[in-house]
Chain A
Amino acid sequence: MAAIKTHANPFKPSLGSRLLWLGVLVYLIYAVVTLDIGWDRFILGLEQGGRLVDRLFPPNFNRWEILLSDLIESLQIAIIASVFGIVISLFVGLMAARNLMPNIISIPVRVFIALCRTFHPVIIAILFVKAVGFGALAGILTLIVASVGFIAKLFAEAIEEISFKQVEAIRATGASFASTILFGVLPQVFSRFIGFSIYQLDSNLRNSTMVGIVGAGGLGGTLFAAFQRFDYDFVTAILLTIIALILVGEALSNLVRRIFQ
């Protein structure tokens, strides 16, 4: 007898996907049970949290001189690291672009970028504090590495998406390699580079307040010390300062964006 073709629910989930969902559910229950994070523990945590919030207010700005000098230091770390990071990324990104560079250059450079991305900035910051000592220099180096790891990769990808016809036309004029990059490649990717750079400046501003926690300069160190000494009202002051810093950064990036449009 010939097989009768049926069309019963062509969208039926496969056995594999059902097993996967079941597996996720079972693991979730197991994990919650073994970590002992039941309802009681949650209520206990809430009470503690209430006491903390109580002590956070009102914010204490008595030590505003420390705050201001730390703020300036964080800002400087972020801006210096962004400028150097972006300039280095331009060259690194160019060398990592597979459509412009032979494998012998692009592969090692890609490995280098991957290495820069491997570790969280906190780990890199600890390494640099051990290597060059406490202070802003370690913070700057950390954020340069983080910037290269992030935007050099984006730069390279942007370059790989360009139209090669324009590059070919510039090459046909007898232009040198450098001129070909400047006139055939850069105009095509410039606005995206600006976007990435602004994003990185933003992200460096945030991270510059964090590297201080491990001693690499900026607001983070003071914040961490205030937590250790239970100066919770000062903590609030620092957090408000960081919020202000981020808002200023936001305004700054909007300004840059508008200028380059």
Chain B
Amino acid sequence: MSALEIRGLNHAYVASKPILHDINIAINEPGIIAIIGPSGTGKSTLLRCINRLIQPSSGSIIFQEADIARVQGRSLRELRRQIGMVFQEYNLVERLSVLENVLTGRLGYMSAWNAWRRKFKPEDIDRAFELLDFVGLSDFAMQRADSLSGGQRQRVGIARALMQAPRILLADEPTSSLDPKTSVEIMELLKTLATDRGIPTLVNIHDVNLARRYAQRMIGMSGGKVVYDGAPSGITDDHLKTIYGGESWLQ
């Protein structure tokens, strides 16, 4: 029984222009699984299908013995809250405090009425502070999210995802808006989570070298298809040429 199994997934925003072709991926292991591929090849679409921010055209996504592609309403939300997501542009609610942003990770577990009155469970609040401590931002809990730097915001984004107590984590280009040093720090953080806490983490990433360094498995996508799925050491220049096309950029 896999933690996540994607079977025959297809998606097209416009019927004549399919984005994803027959994607089959099974995730069994904790650790970082890096998805590489050129822009526009459907990496983001794939991640968004997994937590159903996008409704895939066909295929199934088996998670917790349910098919995410088919559930609706409450059962969809109950699956979704077990899938953490980290975004390229952090997507924090800018006008809320850092602490409130982290606590939004619990919204799937409480009523809107309690959430509005900020009646979070004491253990949730304790955990939020713990996570802020873990990502090194305990001093910023009461600041507004828009006062933070990019790297700090991404850390809050990760804390928010962890607040959901997720069984898997999706990260959509988590380092693309960050400088090289901060990118490495964020990848280190994700790596720690993925291995120490045993959360399988799917990471879309542009930087092939960064992917090689942190991933234990790499999935190469090109033209909406999976063209490589295996160990980072197995990726050759030939594979990269297939994935990205051309070769001048390799030199």
Interface set of A (CB-CB < 8 Å, partner B): 165-166, 168-176, 178-180, 182-184, 187-188, 190-191
For B51, the chain A residues whose CB sits under 8 A away are 172
Q: Which of B80, B92, B95, B100 contacts A173 (CB 8 A)?
A: B80
Cα A172 to Cα B157 with chains together (Å): 12
B105 CB within 8 Å of chain A:
yes
B63 CB within 8 Å of chain A:
no
Interface set of B (CB-CB < 8 Å, partner A): 51, 53, 77-83, 85, 87, 89, 91-96, 100, 104-112, 115-116, 157, 160, 164
Interface SS of A by simple majority: helix
- Chain B proximity of A221: nearest CB distance (Å): 42
For B77, the chain A residues whose CB sits under 8 A away are 174-176
* Contact in complex: B93, A174 (CB < 8 Å): no
- Chain B proximity of A185: nearest CB distance (Å): 9
Interface CB pairs A-B, < 8 A, 20: A165-B87, A166-B91, A166-B92, A168-B53, A169-B104, A171-B80, A172-B51, A172-B80, A173-B105, A174-B79, A174-B108, A175-B77, A175-B115, A176-B111, A176-B112, A179-B107, A179-B112, A179-B115, A183-B107, A187-B94
* Contact in complex: A169, B108 (CB < 8 Å): no
Q: Which of B53, B93, B106 contacts A187 (CB 8 A)?
A: B93
For A183, the chain B residues whose CB sits under 8 A away are 93, 96, 100, 104, 107, 115
B78 nearest in chain A by CB position: A174
* Contact in complex: B112, A173 (CB < 8 Å): no
Cα A175 to Cα B105 with chains together (Å): 8
* Contact in complex: A173, B94 (CB < 8 Å): no
For B92, the chain A residues whose CB sits under 8 A away are 166, 169
A166 nearest in chain B by CB position: B93
Cα A187 to Cα B105 with chains together (Å): 16
* Contact in complex: B87, A174 (CB < 8 Å): no
B87 nearest in chain A by CB position: A169
- Chain B proximity of A188: nearest CB distance (Å): 6
- Chain B proximity of A230: nearest CB distance (Å): 56
- Chain A proximity of B110: nearest CB distance (Å): 8
- Chain B proximity of A156: nearest CB distance (Å): 19
- Chain A proximity of B72: nearest CB distance (Å): 13
* Contact in complex: A170, B93 (CB < 8 Å): yes
Q: Which of B85, B89, B100 contacts A172 (CB 8 A)?
A: B85
Q: Which of A165, A172, A187 contacts B96 (CB 8 A)?
A: A187
User: Most chain-A CB neighbours within 10 Å: which of B51, B107, B112?
Assistant: B107
Q: Known pairs A165-B87, A173-B107. 4 more at Cβ < 8 A? A: A169-B85, A173-B164, A176-B111, A183-B107
B115 nearest in chain A by CB position: A179
* Contact in complex: A170, B104 (CB < 8 Å): yes
Cα A137 to Cα B71 with chains together (Å): 49
- Chain A proximity of B63: nearest CB distance (Å): 13
Cα A169 to Cα B164 with chains together (Å): 12
* Contact in complex: A166, B80 (CB < 8 Å): no
Q: Which of B81, B89, B96, B100 contacts A174 (CB 8 A)?
A: B81
User: Most chain-B CB neighbours within 10 Å: which of A166, A168, A171?
Assistant: A166
Cα A165 to Cα B157 with chains together (Å): 12
For B95, the chain A residues whose CB sits under 8 A away are 187-188, 190-191
* Contact in complex: A182, B112 (CB < 8 Å): yes
* Contact in complex: A166, B107 (CB < 8 Å): no
Q: Which of B89, B112, B116 contacts A165 (CB 8 A)?
A: B89
